[in-house]
Amino acid sequence: MTSSQYVIIGAGFAGAATAYHLALSGVKDITILEQEAVAGFHSSGRNAAMVRQVVSDPALAALTRGGAAFLRALPPDWPVPVGFEQNGSLLLGSGEGWEKLSRDAETARQMGVGVESWSKDKATEFVPALKGADFDGGVWCLTDGVVDIHALLTGYLKAAQARGVRVRYGCSVGGFEVEQGRVTGLSTSDGAIATETVINASGAWAVAIARLAGAVEPPLHPYRRHLFVTAPLPWVDRKWPFVWHITHDLYFRPEAAGLLVCPCDQQEMLPGDTPTDESVTELLFEKIHRHFPALTEIAIKRSWAGLRTLSDDGRFVIGWDPKIKGFFWVAGLGGHGVTTSSAVGALAAKLIRDPHSGSGEEFSPRRFLAATGR
């Protein structure tokens, strides 16, 4: 049997950023367990890589702002170069959706995020592919963009390892040792580990891991989402921002010589290596025809699917478990993991080191205890 003061389950953005910030705070004995042979095999490596700060929830907005600021100015000792294309974002809305988006923009503005409200004409002049599109106005955020997610995840892990963090790949969790309501160890495919603290950063598997420990089971659900990359398009400008129609759930951004497009489909799935569904291609073109008619002639070159794990109330799950001592949650990042990764890791590290800090109560798993009864 080996031992580690802290064991983090999952080497995606939640686990890697938490490990980095814990190590940065001076913790020396940390082990990350990753069930796959590489980090980022699932959600952390299959997303659209977009950094977006304007969101509806003020609690989440604080994390997107802090996380984006970190990505724009990585620490001087960051171990790998991370590409960040700060081309901005252009969020679109229609009808009541435009009114809501305008309120979200005002919230972001009050928090210090530089945003502008644009007319339909100005947005279309900036991105000509919006000609004929169905929207009433747009919100422009200059400091958003697209980040190299693989380099970023590698950076978190290497920076953590440089501070003594151990990473064990191909190591899955099979169960926990719990004595008098406290975690004392866990069994893995690579042997038993004695530990004082388990950090559940296992993404789509978070509830299954919690069940093994007898911890609370928050209403977290993995949902599949598809991404499509087009064949080369000579009229695409690589400097365009990502464009997201918030009301109609459809977005696109430059990718290689074409576009990456997404119909924002959402189907609940079991955790795993997510297969694609051909019928979603039909959904994509139906939405494009209706809302972005200038894109109707695009040809799809490739596609893939990934999982986004969301809570019923849309907020992250970060904090100490209310049932099992020594069990900490960093889960349910719901598609915001890239943008908020550093802010989430910093908050998690703070709560782990100082459980009585009073921070992050809005994300605590305790909020689900009465509702689930489990």
Which two structure tokens, joined as six digits, stand for 188?
């893995």
Band of pLDDT at residue 100, cut at 50, 70 and 90: very high
State the average pLDDT over residues 181-208. Answer: 98
User: In sequence order, what are the beta bridge partners of 185?
Assistant: 177, 194
Single pTM value for the model: 0.96
User: In sequence order, what are the beta bridge partners of 357?
Assistant: none
State the average pLDDT over residues 160-185. Answer: 98
What is the Cα–Cα distance from 325 to 194, expressed in whole angstroms? 15
State the average pLDDT over residues 345-358. Answer: 93
pLDDT at 118: 98
Q: Are strands 30-34 and 2-9 parallel, antiparallel or unpaired?
A: parallel
User: In sequence order, what are the beta bridge partners of 243?
Assistant: 90, 252
At residue 216, does pLDDT exceed 70?
yes
pLDDT at 74: 98
Whole-number average pLDDT of the chain? 96
At residue 168, does pLDDT exceed 90?
yes
State the average pLDDT over residues 189-198. Answer: 97
pLDDT at 372: 52
State the average pLDDT over residues 184-196. Answer: 97
Strand order across the 50-51 sheet? 50-51, 145-147, 84-85
Phi-psi region of 47 (alpha: psi -120 to 50; beta: other; left: phi over 0): beta
Listed in order, the ranges of the chain carrying CATH 3.30.9.10 are 89-142+221-311
pLDDT at 359: 86
What is the Cα–Cα distance from 313 to 167, expressed in whole angstroms? 32
Residue range 89-142+221-311, CATH number: 3.30.9.10
Residue among 243, 217, 174, 225 at smallest CA distance from 327: 217
State the average pLDDT over residues 317-346. Answer: 98
pLDDT at 369: 83
What is the Cα–Cα distance from 257 to 230, expressed in whole angstroms? 8
At residue 370, does pLDDT exceed 80?
no
Question: For the domain with range 2-46+150-219+313-372, which CATH number is right: 3.50.50.60, 3.30.70.100, 3.40.190.290, 3.30.70.860?
Answer: 3.50.50.60
- Cα Rg of the chain, angstroms: 21
State the average pLDDT over residues 202-213. Answer: 98
At residue 371, does pLDDT exceed 70?
no
- 10 Å CB burial of residue 323 (0-12, 13-18, 19+) is middle
Listed in order, the ranges of the chain carrying CATH 3.50.50.60 are 2-46+150-219+313-372
3-state secondary structure the chain: CEEEEEEEECCCHHHHHHHHHHHHCCCCCEEEEECCCCCCCCHHHCCCCEECCCCCCHHHHHHHHHHHHHHHCCCCCCCCCCCEECCCEEEEECCHHHHHHHHHHHHHHHCCCCEEEEEHHHHHHHCHHHCCCCCCEEEEECCCEEECHHHHHHHHHHHHHHCCCEEEECCCEEEEEEECCEEEEEEECCEEEEEEEEEECCHHHHHHHHHHHCCCCCCEEEEEEEEEEECCCCCCCCCCCEEEECCCCEEEEEECCEEEEECCCCEECCCCCCCCCCHHHHHHHHHHHHHCHHHCCCCEEEEEEEEEEEECCCCCEEEECCCCECEEEEECCCCCHHHHHHHHHHHHHHHHHCCCCCCCHHHCHHHHHHHHCC
Question: ∠ at Cα 218 (215, 219), nearest 5°?
Answer: 150
- Residue 283's alpha-carbon distances to 131, 202, 288, 303, in angstroms, are 21, 30, 9, 14
pLDDT at 244: 99
- 10 Å CB burial of residue 198 (0-12, 13-18, 19+) is buried
State the average pLDDT over residues 74-89. Answer: 98
pLDDT at 357: 84
At residue 226, does pLDDT exceed 80?
yes
State the average pLDDT over residues 146-161. Answer: 98
At residue 373, does pLDDT exceed 80?
no
- pLDDT, tens only, 330-341: 999 999 999 999
- pLDDT, tens only, 2-54: 999 999 999 999 999 999 999 999 999 999 999 999 999 999 889 999 999 99
pLDDT at 22: 99
At residue 255, does pLDDT exceed 70?
yes
